[in-house]
Structure formats: C-alpha cells, structure tokens
Structure 1
Amino acid sequence: MARKRNPNGAGSIWQRKDGRFEARVYVPQPDGTRKRKTVYGTTWDECDTKRQELVLRDRQGVPTPTRSAKLSEWLPYWLEEFVRYDRKKTTYAKYETHVRRYLIPHIGSKRLETLGAADVRRMLSAVTSQSTAATAKESHRVLRSALTAACREELISRNVVMLVPAPRVQPREIQPWNLDQTTTFVEAARKDPLYAAFVLAVALGMRRGEILGLRWSDIDLDRRTLTVRNQLQRVQKELYTDTTKNRRTRIIPLPLVCVAPLRWQHLRQSAQRLAAGQSWQDSDYVFTTRTGRPVEPRNLNRSFERITDDAGLPRIRLHDARHGCATLLFAAGVPARVVMEILGHSQIAVTMNIYTHVSDDNRREAMGHMDRLLRRHRSK
C-alpha cells in the first residue's frame, strides 16, 4: 500500500540508493529567508520523525539554520528581532554600538556552534586594549544576552560566554559635594533660567531625563507632590519621551525649597509664552526654550558645568547630584527604604552600595561615639 503524500510545505521522504531514507523541508533562517534542510534516517519512521520536528519548528516560527550562522549574521538579526521592540531605545542604541564597534570586528567571522571560550577571551582582551575594561565588560554582557537568545531558539546547545568571567572594573571614585558646596551651587544658580531644574536635581536626586520630561500636570504645588512618570531622551538624533528607567511611576513629596523655584518657573514660562505669541509650541513641559520646545539634555549639562566653574566648585557630573542627595538624606537619618523610593531605584542594594557616601564629618562623629563608649567603660 502506497504511503500517503505529505501536504505542501511538509517536505517529502524517499529512499536513497544506500538504503537510508532522506527528507527535505523548507525552513526559516535567522535572517528571515527560507532554505531547504535535509535530514536522514535508517528507517522511514525515523526519518519522518525528524521531518515532523522541522515542520513543527517552521509552524512555530522557530529558525532552523541549514548551517551554523556567523555572529556577523546572528547579532544584527538579534538586535532587530529581540532587542529593538522589547527594550528601551537607549538600550538598543548601546547594544548596537557594541555589536558594530567591538563584537562583529573581533569575532564576527566565527560561527555560533564553533565559537569557543578562547575566542571570547581574546575578544575581551582586544576590546580592553581598544577602549577600557568597562567597555569590555559591557560587550561581554551584550554577547551573553545575544547567545542566551540563540540558546532559547535552539540554535546552539550552550552559551560559551557563561564560561568566561567578565573583566574586573575598578569603580570610579565619586566625591559628591558636601552640604556647604551644595548650598553654594544652589545660590550661584539662582539667576540661571534652569534654576528650578537644578534645585530638583539637588533636593530630590532626579535624573536628567526625568527633570526634562516633567510636565505641569505631574506637579501639584498646593499639595506639594511631584509625580515622576516620564523622561526625555535623545538617542541617535531623536528627541523623544520614554518611561522612567525602571518603568515605574513614583510620587515624591515636595520640600518647601522646591516650591518657590517651581512657582517662579511657571511665571517665567507664562511670560515667555506671551512674548513668543504664535510661535509658541505648547507641550506642557515644565522646562522649555523661549518658544516652548523641550530643552536639549546636553544643554542642561552645559549650564550645570558653567555654574559650577563660575562658583569655583569642584567639577562633578550632573548625575552625581543624585549621589549627593542620597548622602544628605542618609546623614539626616532618612531610612534606606525611603531614600530608595525617592531616587527611584529598583533594588535597595543600589541605594546602599552606590549612591551613599560617608563624609568626613560622619566619620568623625562615629569615632566620637567610640571615644565616649571606651572612656565610659574605662571609668567603671
């Protein structure tokens, strides 16, 4: 009795001259094309089982490469299919840079199945020499993520990057301003158009993008609350609004030191709206240009650096104001969990390990307590 023919697209099976059975099925490739895959079996049933597995993967949309793809083929495909629409634009831009500048030039010719731990180590050494250990560590993270996706797609059986430790990076020493220096900066910034933005950075530890993405609808000056729900970012020549870094909205009580600058900013913006007339672009952003457009993130940094230099203060990054805010809050006795919520961290370990610094005054006070304890014990 003749065997029933498979439907179109399900492949076909025949017996070879050597007695084995052979099946061929058109399957999707990682680059989106379709190619014919051949499988063999000593019996018709064995060959048909392999054929059915290929058909099932095809129906599920799982790529089945007819040959092991090169990293120069898989990495761009991974960026487009796995990263672009599932991650933030900033993440995609960062990953794309590492793929283009470091991964493809150093290991792009390697195939997924033949990439070894030695190849990864050589790549990391080359990237460290080309840039820094921190860059190599980030390339390690990007490659690990890409190969994890390849494992899930069953293109490879193991992720060799897991066998190679990432380069050790010496943490950058951060010296945030103390209370006197912070007060000096705030006083020096009073005449700057972005004065209120700097007060929010210092007093609330808000990120640059969160400050510039703030809208008047997010602020209730009567109840003294501020809701952080968006951030303004510029990535690859595009200025756009995105969710916060951890995609969470947080409500922060406004201290009095922030209320007056925000009221001043509202009056100032109203005057600018009248002066601009029809050229004004209404966006509801708290911080805008003279015509209502959003403020460029880099311009906020430039103003911060200019005020810092004019005030004769040590140069720090605008982002370091978050470190200073956390340190001041801890010095005031604010619990770690509360500091975490104010700064918008997803894990309290980040707050404790990175964003808090012990000042000399705190150290002296701690040692003063030690003196009093030991003297009291000695006098007994």
Structure 2
Amino acid sequence: MPVYRDDEQKTWFYVFNYYDDYGKRKQKRKRGFKTKKDATDALRKLEVQFSDGTYVESKKIPFKQYIKDWFSIKKLSLSNNTISLYTGSIKNNILPVLGNIELSYLKPMHIQKFILKMHDKGLAEATIKRTFNIVNVCLNDAVKIGDIPSNPASKIEKPKVSPKEMKIWTVNQIQHFLNCSKNHRLYFIFHLAIMTGLRKGELLGLRWKDIDLEKQVLYVTQTLEQDGKTIKKGAKTRSSVRSVTFSKSTKQVLLAYQEQQDIEKEGYEPVYKDLDLVFRARNGAPYHHRNLTRVFESLTKKAELPHIRFHDLRHTHASLMIAQNEPMKLIAERLGHNKISTTMDTYGHLLPNMQHDASNRLDQTIFGESQ
C-alpha cells in the first residue's frame, strides 16, 4: 500500500498512480494525514472512485472565472430582469467574498461566511436567499458536468425568508375600488387582475388573439418584462403558460374595452403601433410596469383604501378562491403554480377559516345544528 510517513512534518501521505483518458501515466499525492489509517482510508476511497468512474479531477480555476463562464451560458435562458438581478448579485455580493477562492477549494465554511457577510451588510432576507441560490445553482451545475465531486453549498442550512403578512382587500374594498376607478382608462386591467389573478407582466403582455371571448377563456403565452419594452415569449415558468377562464361580467368588460380601443386607435393613426396588446399606451406601444404601478397607487389613495401593491391583487384573487372553497389544485392552475405545495406555502395560512367552516358544516350534517 503506497502510504508513507513524512518524518519532518510527522504526518502521513499517499501516492496514487493512474492513467488518464489518453493513456498517460500520472501520479497523485495527498499529504497532511494525522495517522496511517487516515491516509489509507482516503487512498482506498480514491481507488474506488477511479474504479467506478466517479472520480472528478479538481478544477484549478478561481470561482470568479468559473461563475462568469457559467453565467454567460445561463443567461441565455433568463429574462432581462433576472439577468440584471444576477449581474448585480454576482458583482456586488458573490465575487468580493468567493471570487478568489479556487473552485475545487470551496468548502461549506466559505459558503457560510459568504452568507454571514451578506447579513453583516444588512441585505434583505430575500436578497440573501436569491444570491445564495445563484451560487448553489452554479455549484450544482458544476457537479453535474463533473467539475467538482460535490456541492459545498448543499451541506449548510440554506437562508430562509421570514413570511410577511399578506395584504389583501376584502370584498367590500374591492367593490369600492372598482367603483372609484370605473371611469379610468385602466379600469379594465384592474378588473381582470382581480378576476383572474394574472401577474402584472402577464396582463401587460396579453394580446387580443390570446382571448377567446366566446368561450370565456384567455391564454397566457407571453409577458412584458420590467424594462417596459421587451415582450418575452412564454411566461415566468413552464407551468405559467396556461389557460384561465373568466366570468360573464369580465367578458362584458373586455367587450367594452375593445370598443374604447378602436376609438383610440383612430385618433393615433398612422403612428399607431399595432402589437395586438390588450393593455397598452394610447399609441399601441407596451404600457410600462412603472406607469401602471403609479396609476394604481394614485387610485388607491384617492379611494382612501389600505395601501397594497398591484401584485397583491393576485393574492386577493387567490384569497377569494379559497373563501369560495375552490379546490387548491384549481387555484394552483389559475395562478400558474408548478406545484400545489407552492400555493399551499403561499396561502396556507388562509385555510384555518375554511376548516372552521367545514367543522360547522359537519355539525349541521350530524347534529342538525351549527356551533
């Protein structure tokens, strides 16, 4: 067994001889073992890895170079907004802490210190989790293609985001808001957001050809990105490309909006940009996310209602579905969630009310009375 003692350092080391893929004889040494047994166990583990083909040669490259190369490929499948978030996270938070460490030398303690550094900077929990996830996905990919044997980020406790109190409107507040905004040009998008639960980007990317007024169903097939210019085919996730039904009242609202658009279009020819968008600027161009947010906040304040984000209309829609005892699978499908567990994690706190109602109905069924 090629295990030897280093008399000067009073430690043990092993020597392993092998042939690379080109038939060239190579030798691998590793020093610093405290006992002969430790060195022997490590050598045997290495021999097994070579035997079953799981050995991975350490990649001697700084992590800053590796993650940059990885990101240059990863960005091809990301939206412009996500690319911007990744770029900032890599530059400001990842490279300063992990950049100069060799990929093969990254240890769980390095990842732990990286997380602590972000906490010390006062970054939000969501930002810390998102930034950690970038590193984690990068290292997972490094394992998949054989650049490292294991992911050091998978061996520590992942950052968590404390759940925030969800802000939603009651039925009376919804009715009041819609009544106050009914004469505004964007009333129709508020109505559709509440009645379908679509995301802001999905609403702003919606086209008339994506809506079947006869069957009362719309199809989410593209989104408007945060820059207010780029229309991305597909949606946030694969499951977000979906069909969503709507009510008779929503159909009437859309028909009325269609008539209003036809009148607007006549006033802007020949400079009108016909992108077939349902919600757009008066000249047909995409309606910017920021402008929609600004209008929504202004109308909310004017109606003297509790402040919520536009995105909270989506949460409001989900809460109404839950209050109606709709199946969670149906709600998940309408919202475009890949898994019911995502819907449960987001809205599970609303379920106790449903359980209370169910208990009362059980009383009614068995005893003919409710408590």
- The alignment's TM-score, normalised by the length of structure 1, stands at 0.77
Matched, 1:91 2:82: yes
Matched, 1:163 2:176: no
Partner of 1:344: 336
Q: 1:170 to 1:66 in 2, by over 3 A?
A: closer
Question: What is the Cα-based RMSD across aligned positions, in Å?
Answer: 3.1
Q: 1:242 to 1:101 in 2, by over 3 A?
A: farther
Matched, 1:211 2:185: no
TM-fit CA distance, 1:220: 2.0
Contact persistence 1:231–1:241 (CA under 8 A): yes
Q: 1:376 to 1:224 in 2, by over 3 A?
A: closer
For the residue of structure 2 that corresponds to 1:252, the secondary structure is strand
2:301 to 281, 294, 309: 309
State how 1:75-114 maps to structure 2 within 5 Å: 75-81=67-73, 83-114=74-105
1:188 to 175, 180, 185: 180
State how 1:7-22 maps to structure 2 within 5 Å: none
Unaligned runs of 5+ in 2: 1-15, 27-55
Task: Summarize deviations over 1:118-177 as a string: whole Å, max 9, x none.
Answer: 211111011122212222222221111111222233222221111111123211110311
Where has structure 1 moved over 4 Å in runs of 4 or more? 45-48, 64-67, 359-377
For the residue of structure 1 that corresponds to 2:104, the secondary structure is coil
TM-fit CA distance, 1:190: 0.7
Q: Percent identity?
A: 27
TM-fit CA distance, 1:373: 9.1
2:310 to 299, 318, 321: 318
For the residue of structure 1 that corresponds to 2:258, the secondary structure is helix
- Corresponding letter in the other structure for 2:260: R
In 1, Cα distance between the equivalents of 2:351 and 2:221?
32
TM-fit CA distance, 1:337: 1.7
Contact persistence 2:195–2:246 (CA under 8 A): no
Partner of 2:193: 201
Q: 1:227 to 1:148 in 2, by over 3 A?
A: same
2:254 to 254, 262, 270: 262
Task: Summarize deviations over 1:184-208 as a string: whole Å, max 9, x none.
Answer: 1111221221111111110110110
Aligned length: 324
Matched, 1:134 2:108: no
For the residue of structure 1 that corresponds to 2:163, the secondary structure is coil
Q: 1:103 to 1:177 in 2, by over 3 A?
A: same
2:23 to 32, 49, 74: 49
Partner of 2:6: none
For the residue of structure 2 that corresponds to 1:261, the secondary structure is helix
Partner of 2:283: 291
In 2, Cα distance between the equivalents of 1:104 and 1:364?
51
For the residue of structure 2 that corresponds to 1:234, the secondary structure is coil
Q: 1:222 to 1:93 in 2, by over 3 A?
A: same
In 1, Cα distance between the equivalents of 2:22 and 2:242?
57
Contact persistence 1:323–1:357 (CA under 8 A): no
Unaligned runs of 5+ in 1: 1-40, 53-63
Task: Summarize deviations over 1:8-50 as a string: whole Å, max 9, x none.
Answer: xxxxxxxxxxxxxxxxxxxxxxxxxxxxxxxxx979x779524
TM-fit CA distance, 1:86: 3.1
For the residue of structure 2 that corresponds to 1:191, the secondary structure is coil
Task: Summarize deviations over 1:77-109 as a string: whole Å, max 9, x none.
Answer: 11002x112344443333222211210012211
Partner of 1:246: 237
Q: 1:178 to 1:364 in 2, by over 3 A?
A: farther
**Bigger relative contact order (CA 8 A; separation at least 6):** 2
Q: 1:362 to 1:168 in 2, by over 3 A?
A: same
For the residue of structure 2 that corresponds to 1:49, the secondary structure is coil
Matched, 1:272 2:264: yes
Partner of 2:224: 232
Q: 1:275 to 1:117 in 2, by over 3 A?
A: same
Partner of 1:36: none
- Corresponding letter in the other structure for 1:263: L
TM-fit CA distance, 1:115: 1.6
Partner of 2:45: none
